[in-house]
Amino acid sequence: MTERARIALWRVGILVGLLGAWEWLTGIKAVGRTPGLYWIDPFFISRPSTIVRRFVYLTSGEVRLSLWQMALSTVQSTLWGFVVGVSTGFVAGLVLGRHDRLARVLEPYIIAFNSLPRIALVPLVTMIFGFGLLAKVVLAWTIVFFIVFFNTFQGTRAVDADLIHTARFLGAGERQIMRTVIVPSALAWTFAALTPSISFALIGVVVGELLGGESGGGLGYLITQSLGTLNAADMMVALVSLGAIGIVMALGIKQIERRLLRWRPEYRTERARRAGRWPSGRCSCWARSCRWRWRARWAGRVRASRSSAR
């Protein structure tokens, strides 16, 4: 069994164990003769079987606003906020990372705006942009921008100065240096921020939907509606759906990272291992033994050449 299969088996086992314990503990009574008293009260967190039934009902055509429509609204707002935040944060990080004076001038303003709690900006954003798509995109942008900006800024500053001097010595201009040296180096720092950025973008969108009500749409509206009717099953459906959306988006970011940063050592090693050119298991021990074998072979050749010369 491969390592990936073992990990997948462990994940499925943990999920089945948690769901089974949840279903069992919310179905047995703590005191046999006391009605309505359970080890874990299903009124607050519902039961997996009830959640599945409500999921099927909410995805059917019997409801006015189906779960798919609400999920699509949330995903659309999250992706827009994520794309706008990543693009603007990356460009701002590159510009300020290459212009030290401008970075020092804008530093107090950036720190001040980043220090504001994002939840405190919700009323202002709502007053300006209303409760629609644009307000949710702006809320996601205010979170994603600074995460990507600070990582890109540090990545631009961390570029080896010798590489820049060598490129200039070979006749490269500022645009070529930016395209061939600085951007590839900063991308590694930027991609480290993308996985948390997509999760925080989703959080910002849901916060906007919680306050926007039906006009905001999305899964946040389902959570608010469930709270108003004290329906724990529908609330858990929304939460599970948000978790699934977050997992799918994070996996998509990982795939993009593997393709754009395929020159990095960890991804080159992973591709070689999948292709069968790198043995699985204790790769470090295998590499060390190959290195010692190569040294012994080279030493043997040196001794042979010396003996023939004599």
pLDDT tens figures, 225-234? 898 888 999 9
**160 falls within a domain:** yes
What's the pLDDT score for residue 123?
A: 85
Q: In angstroms, rounded to a whole number, what is the distance separating the alpha carbons of residues 261 and 271?
A: 12
Q: Residue 131 is part of a domain; what is its CATH number?
A: 1.10.3720.10
Query: Is residue 289's pLDDT more than 60?
Result: no
**4 falls within a domain:** no
What's the pLDDT score for residue 267?
A: 60
What's the pLDDT score for residue 294?
A: 44
Per residue in 1-13, pLDDT (tens digit) is 788 888 989 999 9
Per residue in 21-61, pLDDT (tens digit) is 888 888 776 555 555 566 777 888 888 999 999 999 998 87
Q: In angstroms, rounded to a whole number, what is the distance separating the alpha carbons of residues 67 and 44?
A: 21
- Tokens (6 digits) for 96: 């300020």
Give the number of domains in the chain.
1
Q: Residues with Cβ < 8 Å from 27, sequence gap 6 or more?
A: 38, 42, 47
Per residue in 75-123, pLDDT (tens digit) is 999 999 999 999 999 999 999 988 889 999 999 999 998 898 888 888 8
- Per the structure, the complete domain to which residue 259 belongs is given by 66-272
Q: Which residues pair with 197 in a beta bridge?
A: none
**238 falls within a domain:** yes
**164 falls within a domain:** yes
Per residue in 202-248, pLDDT (tens digit) is 999 998 888 776 666 789 889 988 988 889 999 999 999 999 999 99
The three-class DSSP label of residue 38 is strand
The three-class DSSP label of residue 153 is helix
**CA angle at 304 for the pair 301 and 305, rounded to the nearest 5°:** 85
What's the pLDDT score for residue 157?
A: 85
Per-residue b or e along 247-270, where b marks 16 or more CB atoms closer than 10 Å to that residue's CB: eebeeebeeebeeebeebeeeeee
